[in-house]
């Protein structure tokens, strides 16, 4: 079986594809566990069969992205998520029993997890495999049909993704959509039963507004500015290792990359020296190293260079941390540290999403926590400390999508942890059991048996039973 391989170029195409999937969902509203497991197994097999084609396509779309990096960041967590869903699906699908009020007995109650129907997925360009097929895993596990809008910035990867879902799922489960901004806008206006969007906060506002026209429930994965807080007790050398891991991979084009650092003023210079050492070990030829990933296009490169120029014009010291090579080369930009930039600058207002690293300092830990609290809620908070009290303090005081202690990025690859933001960094979550719940409707079912005391509480209300209820209702 084949799905359409041409890009959708008109509103009619998109609406026709949606109607087809909606009809299929209505015909089979509750796919069996066997069908869902089969879909996941076929998707896993197709991914493995197309591994090299995917890695080559990602290399082509980015201009330079090492196969090893793409495998580590996209395929490893995706395959892990599929395996986890297959292993736990029977448990997730099982209705959960609930208790009933004594006045309703004899009866039974449960929550039944029903597929929502047709789920829309809008994926970004920075991880075009993981962030398109990851939501697909949860949606399929929950028994839904899926319509995916892929990023127009990754045409080579999109062609392989089409082959993968065609081989794995055929035409009964999925439609793939490509196109520019007008197609994406029309896509988000469809009356989906659920819509998941991964991208910028600015576009998230548009997606939510469009979804509201049909009261479509949404899950928004928006990123934002994830701080890395270095406590006074932190191991600075280890902090630098983990910071570079999270910031340099994919050239910082990661929604949960450390966006800025807050460290004690006395530790700042030592931390920077360790970061330089780590970067030199990662990329001995600086930006000319083949393992250093390109920025996706000149638009992103120009945006980041604009942040640098604005900061320098405002008197902010900006240092290249990769002196082994040129500052810029063929779509690559060296990782720079920006010393104590003002909050009014674009680099502190917008998600960096690239190789720029603002570093702020504090003298009291409480001041650092207050600063983070006053900012929009981040998708991730990274805390480096050897003090258990710091961990409790951050867990209780800072509202964030996730809290990671003494590492970066690794939370995304945990198949049994939910992933999602809060406030400006997103809404809702997917991955793990929470993903299954996101794409399912939790329907309450009550089954009544035999007579019931409630029948004695009918009008007229002067009946003696109502006098008893009025007297003793608080004990029920």
- Catalytic entry in 221, 263, 278, 351: 221
* First and final C-alpha spacing in the chain: 59
Contacts 24+ apart (CB under 8 A), 390-395: 390/231, 390/233, 390/365, 393/365, 393/369, 394/229, 394/369
Q: Are 23 and 195 in contact (CB under 8 A)?
A: no
**Bridge partners for 98 per DSSP:** 109
Q: Are 113 and 461 in contact (CB under 8 A)?
A: no
Phi-psi region for residue 430, left (φ > 0), alpha (ψ -120 to 50) or beta? beta
In the residue annotation, 51 being an active-site residue is answered as no
- Catalytic entry in 255, 263, 278, 351: 255
Q: Are 67 and 51 in contact (CB under 8 A)?
A: no
What's the rounded Cα separation, in Å, for the pair 423 and 135?
20
Q: Which two tokens stand for residue 449?
A: 């048996």
Q: What is the DSSP letter of 7?
A: P
Q: Angle CA(391)–CA(394)–CA(395) in degrees, nearest 5? A: 80
| Sign of the torsion formed by the C-alpha atoms of 275, 277, 282 and 284 | positive
What's the rounded Cα separation, in Å, for the pair 244 and 252?
9
In the residue annotation, 255 being an active-site residue is answered as yes
Query: In the chain, helix, strand, coil percent, each to 5?
Result: 45, 20, 35
Residue positions annotated with a catalytic role: 221, 255
């Amino acid at each position: 079986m084949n799905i359409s391989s041409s890009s959708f170029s008109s509103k009619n195409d998109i609406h026709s594809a949606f109607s087809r999937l909606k009809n299929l969902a209505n015909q089979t509203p509750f796919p069996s566990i066997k069908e869902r497991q089969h879909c996941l197994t076929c998707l896993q097999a197709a991914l493995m069969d197309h591994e090299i084609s995917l890695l080559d396509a990602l290399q082509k779309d980015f201009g330079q992205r090492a196969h090893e990096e793409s495998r580590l960041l996209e395929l490893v967590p995706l395959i892990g998520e599929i395996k986890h869903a297959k292993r736990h699906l029977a448990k997730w699908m099982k209705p959960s029993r609930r208790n009933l009020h004594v006045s309703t007995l004899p009866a039974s109650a449960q929550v039944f997890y029903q597929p929502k129907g047709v789920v829309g997925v809008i994926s970004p360009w920075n991880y075009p495999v993981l962030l398109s097929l990851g939501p697909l895993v949860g949606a399929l596990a929950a028994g839904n049909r899926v319509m995916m809008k892929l990023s127009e910035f990754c045409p080579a990867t999109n062609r392989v993704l089409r082959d993968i879902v065609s081989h794995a799922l055929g035409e009964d489960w999925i439609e793939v959509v490509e196109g520019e901004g007008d197609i994406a806008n029309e896509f988000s206006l469809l009356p989906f039963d659920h819509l998941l969007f991964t991208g910028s906060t600015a576009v998230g506002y548009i997606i939510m507004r469009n979804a509201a026209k049909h009261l479509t429930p949404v899950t928004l994965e928006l990123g934002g500015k994830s701080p890395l807080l270095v406590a006074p007790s932190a191991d600075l050398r280890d902090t630098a290792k983990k910071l570079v891991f999270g910031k340099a991979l994919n050239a910082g084009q990661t929604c949960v990359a450390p966006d800025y650092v807050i460290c004690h003023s006395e530790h700042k210079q030592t931390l920077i020296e360790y970061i330089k050492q780590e970067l030199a070990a990662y990329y001995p030829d600086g930006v000319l190293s083949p393992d250093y990933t390109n920025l996706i296009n000149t638009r992103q490169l120009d945006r980041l260079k604009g942040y640098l120029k604005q900061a320098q014009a405002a008197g902010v010291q900006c240092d290249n941390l990769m002196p082994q090579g040129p500052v810029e080369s063929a779509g690559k930009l060296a990782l720079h540290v920006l010393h104590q930039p003002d909050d009014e600058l674009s680099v502190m207002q917008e998600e960096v999403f690239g190789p720029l690293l603002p570093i702020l300092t504090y003298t009291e830990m409480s001041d650092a926590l207050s600063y983070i609290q006053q900012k929009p809620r981040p998708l991730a908070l990274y805390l480096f400390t050897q003090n258990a009290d710091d961990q409790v303090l951050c867990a209780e005081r800072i509202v964030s999508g996730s809290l990671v202690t003494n590492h970066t990025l690794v939370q995304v690859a945990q198949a049994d942890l939910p992933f999602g933001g809060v406030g400006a960094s997103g809404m809702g979550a997917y991955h793990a059991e929470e993903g299954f719940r996101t794409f399912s409707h939790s329907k309450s079912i009550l089954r009544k048996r035999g007579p019931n005391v409630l029948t004695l509480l009918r009008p007229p209300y002067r009946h003696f039973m109502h006098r008893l209820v009025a007297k003793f209702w608080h004990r029920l």
